[in-house]
């Protein structure tokens, strides 16, 4: 069980990539990219987890603060990561919308403007 | 605890923030002021940034500039903060980026559709990303600025929304690079779990005495993946031609000149600071020599087969990045010095070539070599500049590219890799020859008119603007870039700076100790980066071969039998470059596995 | 590549990558372990600056540079989306079409709107004390405004939500973050230094610059979300292709010809 969370992260990365490889729809491909990225959330939060520890938020000024809290650094990293993911997803979806308008299709395999 | 140095150390983070502030300002001004004011404001911000970064660079040549952001200087060898470490390589890359952005903005002034200042805003954010990534000494911070660079770059690629290929190029670019970045982040997570740190110097110190187990190899491979995707290493390179062929010309100049080389910079920065003492040198060297040579050769072959001018230049960038990897893969200060000179020279040359290609597109509305045949004959000056660029790409002395490749070739020979100079000569000759061929045909109408079967079908491309004559603001950046490429090879100051920079870049112990204790170690420079007989000979040979290749393409007899022989491998290679993002992702995974195999299997 | 061949190539690559990842995972500290060196340094550093929420301290105080980059990514993406989804010459605003909205939906929209905005402000303002902060609160604020759309009033939404001020808010939020960084240099010589008095632990006025930076990020994220969502809403319901340009089906067929002919 001690590596279960990490294996889930690896699984998400591979399945997200597989989704892009098999994709017939650009929106689907962008969502699959998001799935691949969620691997990083699971991995980072998994790395920061400590059994029995409390959240890294202190109520009142502790005289002798207990260090046994979840790792706040990976949580901050995940927060940054989420913002990056959301904004890049929005950006790629905007591209997909424009491609649909200009080309009339969102099947990546039917886009032939670039070859060779 | 070292004393906080008030002075140039404070300028480094300001240099990261300045373009962001400038971008915010331009966004506020965007719809309120005339276009001219936007251009001037953006140019002023870029010029101020050049001055800021130049100051940091000047200080860094006599010792690293270490800045712990927000004053979190290390206590008992650990810090919770982020460090910026400016050695001549990092600050030099930032300076190169700032200068190129300034020239690109000058070229675009008044012409490129700005969309209410959005173009200027994105250019400055792109610059902030490049400067941040060049300066930072923190792994996760590097990821953040890498993504900033990416987000701005995807947008700049897709700005021409009326054009299908531009949108498709931007999407391929965005998906492949984002996936690469997420794979890097997985690597960062693994490394964080193992060491509990994100700072390059702390990671380097803590890993130094460990065994290279599977975790270390996996972290090395995964962390580097995202940056090598940006550096367009085969088989991660597919997005590059798609993006470069469709972005506005000044943006292409930035992509080829600094963005892609920064990927290689980051990969080797991480290697030298974190992994150098733990992953065996021989394995890393072999892996990158193999992958670098493959990249160079694939890029060169694809360059020769193109007739869409920007796409041709894009593949020549892939080839050039392969040579850069070969030089860095020597893992010596001399190889690094060669790579730096080559990269600086290439930034100028390729920037100039892309800008001239942009002028051609704006004048004649096409990027097809066959359609351009003889049409640009009245622009003789541009023609000669283009030819000069082609010769510089073929490593003709005394251009910086020539010096860089000469020094790199010597570095490889001194390690016993005598086949590396042959790759350098062949690849420079092929890419230079292809550019000379285009120049001879478009500007001078030499040789036969090319016919349809000669190359890949080229897509119609809409010009960035419609020009009747070439404005001075477009020719000045071209000339400035070529002069910079020339200066890199001619000025003794550039050579000695490259020598020192190479020595700093590969100095793992000095980096770690100066970042963590502030102790400035004495730097002994052993690397030699100067013109030598062997290097000059190779350079002249490749320039002559390039002229020969161009002449053969223009005048040579058709060789149907030979073409038939070439046709099948060429068709396969071209089919692999399919423009489909699904294929690219499949190859991305193959690349990770191959890199892991090359580095990890010898350790078993 | 054909699709089956592509899958074979992917399987080979992904197999290798997965094996690499699994081997690495076996060497990692086990899930739930007590090995967290960065945390052990980060928590005392946060408490020393009177910041109750250590995650906020990491984001804004200890690793503020990451957040500056991240704010810039949001800024860049918003600019890109606004650029990509701009109204092109062949598009025009669609005439308002009034659909029917259930009274209960309308009522819920109007009740939830002030509540959501208040919640958003609260989450931003207490970011240094309780879970939350500029990002989380900003998202609540940005989406809260779009309750107006859920309540069925797209015309109303377009009226109360002119897009320009939010574009400015986006720029001002990012600019303020960078300015606070420079202010740190002027005050103590260190970029993004926590220069404001740290205040009393656990109160609203504590943690120095953290709540100020939280506010800047809140403004930026709220504005950014509004601009992003509105750009997509415009595409979905606001804009339509002008009749002269032909319908969607028409463009699919002759799109390339139209482009090729247009610029000659």
Same domain, B116 and B179: no
Question: Would you say how long chain B is, in residues?
Answer: 604
Percentage of chain A modeled with pLDDT above 90: 64
Q: Of the candidates B555, B540, B552, B554, which has an alpha carbon nearest to the alpha carbon of residue B391?
A: B540
Q: How far apart are CA B147 and CA B138, in angstroms?
A: 14
Same domain (yes/no): C25, C79: no
List B136's β-bridge partners, or say none: B84
- If you write DSSP's letter for every residue of B186-229 in order, what string do you get? HHHHHHHHHHS--BHHHHHHHHTTS---HHHHHHHHHHHHHHHH
**Which tens digits make up the pLDDT trace of B540-555?**
999 999 999 998 888 8
User: Is the peptide bond prior to A39 cis by the omega test (within 30 degrees of 0)?
Assistant: no
Residue in chain A lying closest to B169 (CA): A114
Which positions in chain C touch A7 (Cβ < 8 Å)?
Answer: 22, 25
Contact B147 A116 (CB under 8 A): no
Domain count, chain C: 2
User: Which residue in A has a C-alpha nearest to residue C252's C-alpha?
Assistant: A104
Closest chain A C-alpha to B176 CA, distance in angstroms:
9
Is the CB of residue C31 less than 8 Å away from at least one CB of chain A? yes
Contact B474, B351 (CB under 8 A): no
Residues B272 and B289 reside in one and the same domain: no
Q: Using a CB–CB cutoff of 8 Å, tell me whether A20 touches chain B.
A: yes
Please check whether residues B397 and B423 belong to one and the same domain: yes
Per-residue pLDDT, B10: 77
Q: What is the pLDDT of residue A116?
A: 60
Q: Taking CB atoms and an 8 Å cutoff, what residues of chain B touch C259?
A: 162-164, 460, 462
Question: Cβ C58–A73 below 8 Å, yes or no?
Answer: yes
Q: Which chains touch B (3 or more CB pairs under 8 A)?
A: A, C
* Pair C65, C167 in one domain: yes
In the prediction, which pLDDT does B326 show?
96
Are residues B325 and B437 both part of a single domain?
A: yes
Identify the pLDDT of residue C252. Answer: 36
Q: Evaluate whether residue C261 is within a structural domain.
A: no
Mutate to test the interface with C, among B49, B67, B70 (most CBs of C within 10 A): B70
pLDDT at res. B161: 82
Rg, Å, chain C Cα set: 24
Average pLDDT of the segment spanning A30-42 = 95
Q: Do B460 and C260 touch (CB under 8 A)?
A: yes
Q: Which residue has the higher pLDDT, B272 or C86?
A: B272
pLDDT at B565: 53
**Chain B nearest-CA residue for C76:** B152
Do residue B267 and residue B372 come from a single domain?
Answer: no
- Whole-number CA gyration radius for chain A: 20
Asked if A114 is an interface residue toward chain C (Cβ–Cβ < 8 A), one would say no
Distance CA B252, CA B156 (A): 9
Task: Please name the residues between 32 and 71 in chain A that touch chain B, using a CB distance below 8 Å.
Answer: 33, 36-37, 39-40, 43-44, 47
- A26–chain C nearest CA distance, Å: 16
Nearest neighbour of A20 by CB, restricted to B164, B169, B581: B581
CA neighbor of B49 nearest in space, from B122, B119, B100: B100
Cα angle at B155 between B154 and B156, to 5 degrees? 95
B5: tokens are: 């140095």
Main-chain phi, psi angles of C91, to 5 degrees: -120, 155
DSSP string over C103-158: HHHHHHHHHHHHHHHHHHHHHHHTTTTSS--HHHHHHHHHHHHTHHHHTT-HHHHH
- Using CB atoms, list chains with 3+ pairs below 8 Å to chain C: A, B
- How crowded is residue B261: how many other Cβ atoms within 10 Å of its Cβ? 28
- C-alpha B542/C-alpha B393 separation (Å) is 10
Q: Is residue B9 very low, low, confident or very high in pLDDT (cuts 50, 70, 90)? A: low
Q: Is the pLDDT of residue A73 over 50?
A: yes
Bridge partners (DSSP) listed for residue B199: B138
CATH number at residue A95: 1.10.287.3510
Instruction: Write phi, then psi, for A111 (nearest 5 degrees).
Output: -80, 120
Nearest partner of C25 among B180, A70, B186, B271, judged by Cα = B186
pLDDT of residue C199: 82
Q: What is the DSSP string of B565-594?
A: HHHHHHHHHHHHS-S-HHHHHHHHHHHHHH
C194 vs B583: CB contact, 8 Å cut-off?
no
Mean per-residue pLDDT for B509-527?
84
CB contact under 8 Å between B589 and C24, yes or no, is: no
Tally of structural domains, chain B: 3
Range of the domain at A86: 4-53+71-110
The pLDDT assigned to B452 comes to 55
- Tell whether omega for the bond before A48 is within 30 degrees of 0, i.e. cis: no
Q: Which residues of C touch B82 (CB under 8 A)?
A: 63-66
Between CA B370 and CA B445 the distance in angstroms is 10
Residues B577 and B533 in one domain: no
Identify how many contiguous H helices and E strands chain A contains and give both numbers: 3, 0
Q: Is residue B579 part of a domain?
A: yes
Chain B: nearest CA to C146, how far in angstroms? 24
Write the pLDDT tens digit of every residue in B386-441.
999 999 999 999 999 999 999 999 999 999 999 999 999 999 999 999 999 999 99
Residue B228 scores a pLDDT above 90? yes
- β-strands B83-86, C91-93: how paired? unpaired
- With respect to residue A85, please indicate whether it lies within any of the assigned structural domains: yes
Cβ distance A99 to B167 less than 8 Å, yes or no, reads yes
Whether residue B371 sits in one domain with residue B491: yes
- Could you give the C-alpha distances from B559 to B433, B546, B554, C163, in angstroms and in order? 18, 19, 13, 62
Q: Using CB atoms and an 8 Å cut-off, which of residues 353-372 of chain B contact chain C?
A: 365
C264: pLDDT strictly greater than 60: no
DSSP string, B86-137: E-HHHHHHHHHHHHHHHHHHHHHTTTS--TTTHHHHHHHHHHHHHHHHHHB-
Instruction: Tell me the mean pLDDT in the region B151-172.
Output: 90
Residue C75's closest chain A neighbor by CA?
A: A87
Query: For residue C39, what is the nearest residue in chain B, using CA coordinates?
Result: B196
Torsion of CA C72, C78, C80, C85, to 10 degrees: 180
Nearest beta carbon to residue A14 from set C14, C54, C235: C14
DSSP 8-state code for residue C196: S
* pLDDT at residue C247 greater than cutoff 90: no
CB pairs under 8 A between A and C: 168
- Same domain membership, residue C236 and residue C153: yes
What confidence score (pLDDT) does residue B58 get? 92
Instruction: Provide the residue range defining the domain that includes C236.
Output: 51-256
Shared-domain flag, residues C154 and C68: yes
Of A116, A29, B295, B583, nearest in space to C8 by CA: B583
Query: Which of A13, A102, A108 lies closest to B582 in CB terms?
Result: A108
Q: Which residues neighbour B333 within 8 Å (Cβ) at sequence distance 6 or greater? A: B499, B502, B503, B505, B506, B525, B526, B527
For residue C96, the model assigns a pLDDT of: 64
Inter-chain touch B151–A87, beta carbons under 8 Å: yes
pLDDT at A115 over 60: yes
In the listed set B136, B158, B184, which residue is the last one of a domain according to the structure? B136
Put residue A71 in one of left, alpha, beta given phi > 0 → left and psi -120 to 50 → alpha.
beta
Contact C207, C52 (CB under 8 A): yes
pLDDT, mean over chain B: 90
> How big, in percent rounded to 5, are the helix, strand and coil portions of chain C?
70, 5, 25
pLDDT at B24 exceeding the cut of 90: yes
Domain match, B222 and B352 both: no
What is the spatial distance between Cα B247 and Cα B159, in angstroms, rounded to a whole number?
A: 8
Span A25-36, average pLDDT: 95
pLDDT at B459: 52
Where in the sequence is the domain holding B214, given as residue range(s)?
Answer: 167-279+562-604
Under 8 Å CB-to-CB from B438, ≥6 apart: which residues?
B309, B312, B369, B372, B386, B390
Q: Could you tell me if B270 and B256 lie in one domain?
A: yes
Are B260 and B317 in contact by the 8 Å Cβ rule? The answer is: yes
Tens of pLDDT along B317-340? 999 999 999 999 999 999 999 999
Q: Write out pLDDT tens, residues C87-136.
A: 777 777 777 666 677 788 888 888 888 899 999 999 998 888 888 888 99
ipTM: 0.95
Q: Tell me which chain B residues have a C-beta less than 8 angstroms from the C-beta of C23.
A: 214-215, 218
B543 shares contact with chain C (CB less than 8 Å): no
Q: Residue A6, class by beta-carbon neighbours within 10 Å (0-12 exposed, 13-18 middle, 19+ buried)?
A: buried
Residue B235 pLDDT exceeds 70: yes
- Alpha carbon distance C167, B81 (integer Å): 31
Interface test with B, best of C27, C76, C251 (most B CBs within 10 A): C76
HSE-CB for B126 with a 13 A CA cutoff: 33
Q: Pick the residue with more confidence: B209 or A41?
A: A41
Report chain B residues whose CB lies below 8 A from the CB of A90.
Answer: none
Q: Helix or strand or coil: residue A85?
A: helix
Residues B92 and B172 in one domain: no
User: How many other CB atoms are there within 10 angstroms of residue C97's CB atom?
Assistant: 8
Measured between alpha carbons, how far is C194 from C183 in angstroms, rounded to an integer?
A: 10
The answer on B476 and B401 residing in a single domain is yes
| Predicted pLDDT at C188 | 84
pLDDT tens for residues B519-539?
A: 877 777 777 778 888 889 999
CB-CB under 8 Å, B138 with C175: no
Q: Inspect the interface and report whether the beta carbons of A115 and B158 lie closer than 8 Å.
A: no
The SS3 of residue B529 is: coil
* In the block, residue with structure tokens 């290798």: C16
pLDDT of residue B3 exceeding 80: no
C209, C172: one domain = yes
Contact call for B21 and C179, based on CB within 8 A? yes
Nearest Cβ partner of B585 from A20, A47, A84?
A20
The strand pairing partners of C93, in sequence order, are: C239
Q: Quote the CA–CA distance of B144 and B156 in Å, as a whole number.
A: 18
Band of residue A61 on the pLDDT scale cut at 50, 70, 90: low
Asked whether residue C41 is assigned to any structural domain, the reply reads no
Minimal CA separation from C167 to chain B, in Å: 8
- A-chain residues within 8 Å CB-CB of C44? 65
Does a structural domain hold residue B325?
Answer: yes
| B289 shares a domain with B351 | yes
Write the pLDDT tens digit of every residue in B245-263: 889 999 999 999 999 999 9
Contact B165 A96 (CB under 8 A): no
The predicted pLDDT at position C78 comes to: 93
C183 with C103, same domain: the answer is yes
Are B105 and B46 a contacting pair, CB within 8 Å?
yes
Q: Treating both helix axes as pointing N-terminal to C-terminal, what angle do B260-270 and B139-157 enclose, rounded to 10 degrees? A: 170
Q: Is residue B516 part of a domain?
A: no
pLDDT value of residue B4: 43
**In this predicted structure, what is the pLDDT of residue B312?**
94
Tally of domains in chain A = 1
Average pLDDT, integer, range B221-239: 95
Return mean pLDDT, chain C.
83
Dihedral sign of CA atoms B45, B50, B53, B54 in order: negative
| Closest to A42 measured CA to CA, from C53, C31, C29 | C31
Per-residue pLDDT at B359 = 93
Q: Which of A30, A99, A116 to mutate against chain B (most B CBs within 10 Å)?
A: A116
Q: Provide, rounded to the nearest whole percent, the portion of chain A with pLDDT above 70.
A: 93
Does the pLDDT value for residue B579 go beyond 70? yes
How far is C-alpha B500 from the geometric centre of its chain's CA atoms? 21
pLDDT tens digits along B30-71? 888 888 999 999 999 999 999 999 999 999 988 899 999 988
C32 with A104: Cβ contact below 8 A:
no
Please tell me the predicted confidence (pLDDT) of residue B461.
66
Under a CB-based contact definition with an 8 Å cutoff, are residues C96 and B153 in contact?
no
Indicate whether C11 and C106 sit together in one domain: no
Specify whether C119 is located in the same domain as C215.
yes
With an 8 Å Cβ cutoff, are B164 and A111 in contact? yes
Contact of C168 with chain A, judged by CB distance below 8 Å, is answered with no
Please tell me the number of Cα atoms within 13 Å of C35 on its side-chain side: 12
pLDDT in the model for residue B604: 73
Give the pLDDT mean for C16-40. 92
Within 8 A of B175 by CB-CB distance, chain A residues are: 20, 29-30, 33, 92
Residues of A in contact with C67 (CB under 8 A): 80
Same domain, C83 and C198: yes
């Amino acid at each position: 069980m001690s590596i279960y969370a990490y294996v889930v992260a690896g699984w998400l990365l591979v399945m997200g990539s597989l989704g892009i490889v098999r994709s017939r729809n650009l929106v689907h491909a962008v969502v699959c990219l998001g799935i691949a990225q969620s691997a990083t959330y699971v991995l980072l939060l998994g790395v920061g987890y400590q059994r029995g520890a409390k959240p890294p938020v202190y109520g009142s000024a502790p005289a002798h603060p207990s260090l046994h809290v979840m790792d706040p650094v990976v949580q901050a990293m995940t927060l940054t990561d989420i913002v990056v993911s959301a904004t890049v997803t929005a950006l790629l979806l905007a591209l997909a919308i424009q491609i649909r308008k200009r080309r009339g299709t969102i099947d990546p395999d039917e886009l032939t403007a670039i070859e060779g | 605890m070292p004393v906080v140095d008030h002075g140039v150390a404070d300028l480094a983070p300001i240099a990261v923030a300045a373009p962001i502030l400038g971008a915010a300002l331009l966004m506020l001004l965007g719809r309120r002021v005339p276009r001219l004011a936007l251009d001037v404001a953006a140019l002023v911000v870029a010029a101020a940034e050049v001055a800021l970064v130049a100051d940091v660079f000047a200080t860094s040549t006599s010792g690293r500039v270490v800045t712990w952001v927000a004053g979190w200087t290390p206590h008992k060898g650990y810090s919770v903060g982020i460090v910026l470490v400016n050695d001549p390589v990092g600050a030099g890359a930032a300076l190169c980026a700032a200068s190129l952005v300034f020239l690109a903005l000058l070229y675009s002034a008044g012409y490129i559709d700005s969309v209410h200042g959005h173009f200027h805003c994105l250019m400055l954010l792109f610059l902030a990303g490049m400067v941040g990534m060049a300066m930072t000494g923190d792994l996760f911070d590097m990821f953040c600025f890498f993504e900033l660079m990416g987000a701005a770059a995807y947008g700049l690629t897709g700005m021409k929304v009326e054009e299908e290929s531009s949108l498709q190029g931007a999407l391929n670019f965005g998906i492949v690079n984002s996936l690469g970045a997420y794979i890097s982040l997985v690597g960062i997570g693994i490394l964080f779990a193992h060491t509990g740190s994100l700072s390059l110097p702390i990671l380097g110190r803590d890993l130094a005495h460990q065994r290279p187990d599977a975790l270390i190899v996996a972290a090395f491979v995964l962390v580097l993946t995202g940056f090598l995707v940006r550096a367009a290493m085969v088989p991660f390179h597919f997005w590059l031609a798609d993006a470069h062929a469709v972005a506005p010309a000044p943006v292409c100049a930035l992509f080829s000149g600094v963005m892609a080389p920064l990927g290689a910079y980051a990969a080797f920065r991480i290697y030298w600071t974190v992994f150098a003492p733990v992953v065996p040198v021989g394995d890393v060297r072999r892996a990158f020599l193999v992958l670098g040579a493959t990249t160079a050769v694939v890029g060169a072959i694809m360059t020769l087969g193109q007739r869409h001018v920007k796409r041709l230049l894009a593949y020549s960038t892939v080839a050039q990045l392969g040579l850069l990897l070969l030089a860095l893969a020597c893992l010596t200060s001399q190889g690094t010095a060669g790579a730096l000179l080559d990269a600086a020279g290439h930034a100028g040359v390729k920037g100039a070539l892309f800008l001239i290609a942009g002028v051609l597109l704006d004048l004649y509305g096409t990027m097809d070599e066959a359609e351009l045949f003889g049409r640009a004959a009245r622009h003789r000056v541009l023609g000669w500049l283009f030819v000069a660029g082609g010769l510089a790409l073929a490593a003709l002395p005394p251009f910086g590219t020539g010096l860089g490749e000469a020094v790199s070739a010597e570095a490889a020979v001194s390690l016993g890799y005598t086949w590396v100079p042959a790759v350098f000569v062949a690849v420079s000759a092929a890419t230079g020859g292809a550019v000379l061929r285009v120049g001879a045909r478009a500007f001078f109408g030499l040789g036969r008119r090319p016919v349809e079967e000669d190359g890949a079908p080229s897509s119609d491309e809409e010009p960035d603007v419609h020009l009747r004559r070439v404005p001075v603001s477009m020719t000045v950046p071209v000339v400035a870039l070529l002069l910079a490429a020339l200066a890199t090879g001619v000025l003794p100051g550039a050579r000695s700076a490259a020598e020192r920079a190479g020595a700093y870049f590969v100095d793992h112990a000095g980096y770690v100790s100066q970042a963590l204790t502030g102790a400035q170690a004495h730097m002994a420079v052993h690397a030699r980066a100067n013109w030598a007989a062997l290097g000059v000979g190779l350079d002249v040979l490749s320039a002559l071969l390039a002229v020969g290749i161009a002449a053969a393409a223009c005048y040579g007899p058709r060789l149907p039998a030979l073409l038939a022989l070439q046709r099948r491998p060429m068709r396969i290679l071209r089919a692999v470059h399919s423009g489909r993002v699904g294929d690219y992702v499949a190859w991305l995974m193959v690349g990770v596995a191959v890199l892991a195999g090359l580095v990890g299997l010898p350790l078993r | 590549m054909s699709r089956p061949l592509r899958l074979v190539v992917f399987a080979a690559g992904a197999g290798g990558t997965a094996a690499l990842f699994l081997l690495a995972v076996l060497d990692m500290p086990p899930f739930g372990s007590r090995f967290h060196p960065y945390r052990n340094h980060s928590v005392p550093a946060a408490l020393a600056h009177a910041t109750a929420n250590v995650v906020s301290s990491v984001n804004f105080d200890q690793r503020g540079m990451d957040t500056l980059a991240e704010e810039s990514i949001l800024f860049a993406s918003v600019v890109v989306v606004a650029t990509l989804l701009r109204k092109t010459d062949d598009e025009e605003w669609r005439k308002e079409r009034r659909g029917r909205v259930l009274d209960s939906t309308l009522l819920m929209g109007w009740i939830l709107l002030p509540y959501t905005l208040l919640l958003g402000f609260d989450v931003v303002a207490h970011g240094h004390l309780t879970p939350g902060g500029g990002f989380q609160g900003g998202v609540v604020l940005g989406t809260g405004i779009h309750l107006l759309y859920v309540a069925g009033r797209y015309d109303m939404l377009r009226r109360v939500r002119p897009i320009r001020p939010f574009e400015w808010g986006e720029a001002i939020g990012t600019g303020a973050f960078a300015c606070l960084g420079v202010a740190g240099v002027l005050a103590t010589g260190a970029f993004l230094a926590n220069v404001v008095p740290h205040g009393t632990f656990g109160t609203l006025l504590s943690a120095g610059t953290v709540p100020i930076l939280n506010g800047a990020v809140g403004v930026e994220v709220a504005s950014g979300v509004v601009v992003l969502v509105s750009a997509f809403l415009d595409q979905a319901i606001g804009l339509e292709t002008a009749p002269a340009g032909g319908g969607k089906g028409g463009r699919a067929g002759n799109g390339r010809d139209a482009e090729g002919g247009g610029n000659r």
